[in-house]
Each structure stands twice: as structure tokens, then as C-alpha cells.
Chains A and B, each alone.
Chain A
């Protein structure tokens, strides 16, 4: 598709594209991956610590400790977002800070803070899930599709 678009462009534009592609600074993909891996892994490590804490000191099993752990992580993210620290982490780590549940919390909380000036109902209430809403919609939808596939495969006796 990109090629088709290119052919329609005038020759100067094509020349320019080749020119800028030569000089464009390459993204350090591997380094970014490494940073994301380390920071994301560290967030999960903190999550594991919290989960173990709940298993040892409260009446939660490994199965049920997941919910309070998520809540605690989101609470910590709330503080970090409010103090402006999570933005820095996000700038450094990219996907490493966006993929764990803390990234989801950050998306909700930062838009809640941003729209507070427009009032609580029409501002915070209606805009809070602007970024996170699609995550919920497509998360639920893809879970539905995968569950459907799994059910069919089990019915047909494949797995």
C-alpha cells in the first residue's frame, strides 16, 4: 500500500522522501526493548513482593491475592502519577511502563487529573476513561473471541 501511495506523489516529493529516509535517525529498537524489559520486569517484581506480602500476612491464597495486589499497584501508580514521577518512568521505559496494570492506571488517573478543571461530571466523569476505554472494550472483545475459539476447539475435540 505504501508503494502505491508513493507512485502517485510528484517526483520532487519522492526525491525528498528518499532524502529524509537516508538522514532520519534510527530508533534504538534493541535498547528500547531492553529498557522496557528491565523496567517492566521491575514493576512485576514489586507486584510479586506485594502479592507475597498478602499471602503471608493476610487471608489470601496465591489464587486470590491477585486482586488486592492489582489494587495496591494502581494506588501506588496514582501517587506516582500525581507527583509527576510516572511520566518520567514512561519516557524512559516506554512500553515497559505501559503494559503492566500500572500503565492502565496511569492512563485513567492522568486524564482524571487533566479534566478536573472542567468539573466533576462533565469533566472527570466523562473523560476519565477516554484513553483507557478502548483498552477495556478491545480487551473484553478479544477475550470473547478467544474464549469462543477455545470452546469450539474443545467441542471438536482438537484440544
Chain B
């Protein structure tokens, strides 16, 4: 009895260690996705790259929400993943982060799956959409969020 339980436990552990890529892009767009394309009147705070990143990431049906903001040098993206896909969270983050870095080679790309960063980015997106933000204050906010996402302890 005990030996069987151990064996089953071991199999369950090992079966999650496959080496296949964590996510595959699907053909049809995800309908229930939580994202907004931001258009700003001010050219200085243009969110073109962030919108591109959102369009690319929306091909994955496992992603439930994407928040992204970019400055002229940096792009920060926060994705939320389906609950049962969260078991592979680290792998998914690694894969998407690599993909985004390849897509924007001349920007500093930061991709996280952290809820806090998503909340902060959503607030920032709202502000950008209402047009009440200057380039300088946006850069400051983005820097703060990037610092927050890198905090470890």
C-alpha cells in the first residue's frame, strides 16, 4: 500500500518535468481577454510597442489578462495566466519573456506574472488613456514599477 502511494507520488512529480514548451499559440484570438489598446494624443507617451506586445501575446489562449506600458527605452508587461496553468508558471514566464525580448531587441523588456505589477500597470494605463500624464512622470512611474517587480525579499 505504502509503496504504491510512493510510486504514484513519484510518477506525478516526474510527469510534470517534461521538456516541451509550456505554451503553444493558437490560431483564433482569445475572446475573453482583459486588455485595452491605449491610444494617446501626445506622441511623447506613445504606447505603440506596448500595443504590439499585447497583440502578440493575445494569441495564447492560456493568458487571461495583459497589461503593458512602454517608455522610449523600457517595456514592462504583466500577464495573468489561467489558474490551472499556474503550475507551469515559471516555464511560461521564461518562454514569454524570451519571446518578447526577441520581438523588441532595442527595448529593455520586463515580463512578469505578478498580480501587483498588473494592478499598478492597470492604474498607469488608465491615466495614460485619460491623457493626464506627461512623459517625465510616466517614466518615473514605470521606473518605480520595474524596481518593484525586481524586489526579492
* Interface residues, chain B, with chain A CB atoms under 8 Å away: 114-117, 119, 148-149, 151-153
Contact = CB atoms under 8 A, between A and B. Distances in A.
Q: Please name the 6 residue pairs, one residue from A and one from B, whose CB atoms are nearest each other, closest first.
A: A61-B116, A62-B114, A55-B116, A61-B114, A64-B151, A55-B115
Contact of B149 (A55, A59, A61, A65): A61
Interface of A: 52, 55-56, 59-65, 67
A63 B89 CA distance: 13
A56 B119 contact: yes
A61 B153 contact: no
Contacts of A61: 114-117, 148-149, 151
B153 A60 contact: no
Contacts of B115: 52, 55, 61-62
Contacts of A65: 116
Judged by DSSP, the binding face of A is loop
Nearest to A66: B153
A63 B116 CA distance: 9
Contacts of A59: 148
22 contacts: A52-B115, A55-B115, A55-B116, A55-B119, A59-B148, A60-B116, A61-B114, A61-B115, A61-B116, A61-B148, A61-B149, A61-B151, A62-B114, A62-B115, A62-B116, A63-B114, A63-B151, A63-B152, A64-B152, A64-B153, A65-B116, A67-B153
Contacts of A67: 153
Contacts of B148: 59, 61
B70 to A, nearest CB: 20
Given A60-B116, A61-B148, A62-B116, 9 more contacts: A52-B115, A55-B116, A61-B114, A62-B114, A62-B115, A63-B114, A63-B152, A64-B151, A67-B153
